[in-house]
Structure 1
Amino acid sequence: MTSKPGIVFVLGAPGSGKGTQCEKIVDKFGFVHLSAGDLLREERNTPGSQYGALIEGHITGGTIVPVEITCSLLEKAMIKSGSSKFLIDGFPRNQNNLDGWNSQMGAKVNLLFVLFFECPQEVCTDRCLQRGAAGSGRSDDNPESLAKRFDTYINATMPIVDHYRAQDLVRTVLANRSPDEVFVDVCEAFDGIKEA
């Protein structure tokens, strides 16, 4: 890679619609979608993975997996894809993630902006519980794990959003509307970087 890949961090509460919107961004803007959570779940389910049990413990406990593991999985996926534009969904989720990313990956990528989905907790909770009831296959779509995930989100992830907001890097989208309505605002956020 001659130029650094462009990165958009996608942050928001559990159930704020990050995955749904990322699919639409991939279709329209040609980014590669990397979900930190999906990569971790995939690694957890890989037979013989040295990290499997550790990841499972963090996922069911609603806590955050060590940043070195997440960064190495993200970097591996970026190299494998061969793309130069990435959505990194659900990361960085806390200060440790941010510090680890900056030291491991900061010099290798160009952060374009942070796409932040703002959504009331009750809407998010309903969406996650419906997703769980519909058989999402996610061990953390239940009331107990959700309470812990929201706690982590408020106390650990929001300060990261504020950190980037202070650098004028956050583009906020209100996510408590229909996916199509939300996507109109998402497109505006991506305006001007189609060829980035």
Structure 2
Amino acid sequence: MHALIVTAHPVAHSLTHAVARRLADGVRDAGHSAEIADLAREGFDPRFTEADIARFLRQAPAPADVLAEQARIDRADTLALVYPIYWWSMPGLLKGWIDRVFSQGWAYEEKDGRDERRLGHLSVHLLAIGGADMRTYARHGYFGAMRTQIDHGIFEYCGARVITSELLVPAGGEDAGRHLDRAFDLGRALLRTQPRGCVADAA
């Protein structure tokens, strides 16, 4: 089985990339394959352009770079996003990847006033890396906001099952090592069968 791990951080030696690599290590240690899609290094264009609008309106085929990303997801049994929290959300590069790649006709279909969810085969794992402590995020309701906006508003709308939705934050001491250990353990379990609708508790 195969996992696609997508990350969006401009610095290769960042904690975000380290977590993504350890996640991939765990997947491989469990006997599966993993691919890391480094959107910053690969130069993915996140801008939702006139070509993307034409695709949404069914006036033109999807741009080649979008088709390539959709094919990459189609090859995967599970999708993991590893990203830093910027302004209480994901980086613009990652949001633009979702805006362009999770397009109508591929991720979902709107017909006769009804929505057809097309990614029911896909399980999703979200690892967000924050700079504030857990009490700050909890006090301001970030858990609910993240799950409403990302888990439900994006992936569940397309029929994908969000299995893991975790927030990795500073807790003092050996934060980085603890997060890397968690990523490896999660990677080893990433492709295990999960019951439909199961969502893990936030870390």
Name the structure with the higher strand share.
2
Name the structure with the higher helix share.
1
User: Which fold has the larger relative contact order, with Cα–Cα distance below 8 Å and residues 6 or more apart in sequence?
Assistant: 1
| Higher Rg of the two aligned structures | 2
Same-fold call, TM cutoff 0.5: no
The TM-score bracket by the shorter chain reads: 0.3 to 0.5
TM-score, normalised relative to structure 1: 0.44
